[in-house]
Chain A
Amino acid sequence: MMNQPQPSATPNITSFEAQAGAPIPEQHSGVKLLVTAYIAFWLIAMTFVLVTWLRQRGLANKVDELERALDRAESKSQANDDRLAETIVKDRPKSAQD
């Protein structure tokens, strides 16, 4: 893609503005170049948006994972508390239980 300059074949355009003079000879198809540029532009823009969306989904998954870990820890802690309460009740003298 990166050809070296060819001075003899170089149309001397140093402006984007409307030019006077004869049209540049058709070395490359203008339509093809334009379509390629626009496809590349939208492809890059859409890739950026897609990557952003994927990262957002990744963050949501991470939050879900942390929430599940918290739930697991909470139920484990609850089970420990229940076991502890059961042990205390079992170990108390019968008269105190009545």
Chain B
Amino acid sequence: MRGRALDLVFGLVLAAAASLYAATIYVVFFRAPIEARMGIVQKIFYFHVPSAYSMYLGATACFIGSVGYLARPNDLWDGLGRAGAEVAVAFGTMVLVSGPLWAAKAWGFYWTWDPRLTTALLSVLIYVAYLVLRGFAGDGEGERKFAAALGILGAANLPIIHFSVQKWGGQHPAVITGKGGGLHHPDMKLALTLSFFAFTFFVISLLWVRTRQKMLQSRIDRAEQDMVDLGVFDEEPAQ
């Protein structure tokens, strides 16, 4: 009964993400005006900024899972940490791809070792290291704890990324500030708001599915090991 209710909630979250993406695409391309100076390339912004926010969401999930695992080791926390790292890498990659494409037009070059760009790249590399560790170093207690420590270290970089523009200046714009996002046209604001909601629901559904898969994977591995021990199953489980 509880499982069915959860499946229903998951379905609703996924449907919300899909409809919000459709609405975002419509508003971005058919309603939001083309920015006068940067031209059409400014529309990258409506997916670039929410991608960065989604990377933060994934990294936060990884941090919560990592702290939870170190405090109380179980499959749920471990799965959440790993799912969070995957989401952080996927959306971080989107940020690192879409940002330079915007910069090519706005700055005249793709990349510069600006504080925000450099710290964002570093953050993605930390989560890539987390996933490489989990993928190749096995799934033992020690590896899980080491990865959890890396997940906490990765989260320590998030405030540095966010405040790097204010602290050290650089080329990258301060996007979300106390004065607002800087978008003056109501349709521009609507496009960005819808995009934030779409990304939020999409990230929640990805975290949900991946965490449940990781938990199931751990249970299957244990069942397989038990069957090998009992002589019911011939093969050693793959690590």
Task: Determine whether B145 belongs to the interface, using a CB cutoff of 8 Å to chain A.
Answer: no
Whole-angstrom CA separation of A17 from B106 in the bound complex: 12
Contacts A15-B173, A16-B42, A19-B35 known; A27 to B108 CB distance under 8 Å?
yes
Assess the B184–A18 pair: CB atoms within 8 A.
Answer: yes
Assess the A20–B37 pair: CB atoms within 8 A.
Answer: yes
Q: Mark A33-65, 1 if CB is under 8 A from B, else 0.
A: 110111011001101100010011001001100
Whole-angstrom CA separation of A36 from B94 in the bound complex: 11
Assess the A66–B109 pair: CB atoms within 8 A.
Answer: no
Interchain nearest-CB distance for B108 vs A (Å): 5
Whole-angstrom CA separation of A19 from B185 in the bound complex: 12
- Report which of A24, A33, A56 forms a contact with B213, defined as CB distance below 8 A: A56
Task: Determine whether B39 belongs to the interface, using a CB cutoff of 8 Å to chain A.
Answer: yes
- Report which of B42, B210, B224 forms a contact with A52, defined as CB distance below 8 A: B210
Tell me the residues in window 26-65 of chain B with beta carbons closer than 8 Å to chain A beta carbons. Answer: 35-45, 47-49, 51
A38: chain B residues at CB < 8 Å are 44, 47
Interchain nearest-CB distance for B112 vs A (Å): 5
Interchain nearest-CB distance for B38 vs A (Å): 6
Whole-angstrom CA separation of A46 from B33 in the bound complex: 28
Task: Determine whether A96 belongs to the interface, using a CB cutoff of 8 Å to chain B.
Answer: no
Assess the A17–B182 pair: CB atoms within 8 A.
Answer: yes
Task: Determine whether A93 belongs to the interface, using a CB cutoff of 8 Å to chain B.
Answer: no
Task: Determine whether B118 belongs to the interface, using a CB cutoff of 8 Å to chain A.
Answer: no
A9: chain B residues at CB < 8 Å are 108
Task: Determine whether A87 belongs to the interface, using a CB cutoff of 8 Å to chain B.
Answer: no
Total interface residues on A, CB under 8 Å, equals 46
Total interface residues on B, CB under 8 Å, equals 58
In the complex, what residue of chain A is closest to B100 when comparing beta carbons? A1
Assess the A59–B36 pair: CB atoms within 8 A.
Answer: no
Assess the A41–B172 pair: CB atoms within 8 A.
Answer: no
Interchain nearest-CB distance for B40 vs A (Å): 4
In the complex, what residue of chain A is closest to B228 when comparing beta carbons? A69
- Report which of B49, B86, B107, B224 forms a contact with A11, defined as CB distance below 8 A: B107
Assess the A33–B182 pair: CB atoms within 8 A.
Answer: no
A28: chain B residues at CB < 8 Å are 104-105
Task: Determine whether B16 belongs to the interface, using a CB cutoff of 8 Å to chain A.
Answer: no
Task: Determine whether B193 belongs to the interface, using a CB cutoff of 8 Å to chain A.
Answer: no
Tell me the residues in window 72-104 of chain B with beta carbons closer than 8 Å to chain A beta carbons. Answer: 86, 90, 93-94, 97-98, 100-102, 104
Task: Determine whether A88 belongs to the interface, using a CB cutoff of 8 Å to chain B.
Answer: no
Task: Determine whether B216 belongs to the interface, using a CB cutoff of 8 Å to chain A.
Answer: yes
- Report which of A21, A44, A45, A66 forms a contact with B223, defined as CB distance below 8 A: A66
Task: Determine whether B163 belongs to the interface, using a CB cutoff of 8 Å to chain A.
Answer: no
- Report which of A14, A31, A41 forms a contact with B40, defined as CB distance below 8 A: A31
Assess the B36–A30 pair: CB atoms within 8 A.
Answer: no
Interchain nearest-CB distance for B208 vs A (Å): 11
A36: chain B residues at CB < 8 Å are 101
What 8 additional pairs, Cβ within 8 angstroms, besides A9-B108, A18-B184, A45-B90? A4-B109, A23-B36, A33-B101, A34-B43, A41-B51, A48-B86, A52-B209, A59-B216
The 8 nearest A-B residue pairs measured at CB: A17-B182, A19-B37, A30-B41, A13-B106, A73-B232, A2-B111, A37-B98, A37-B101
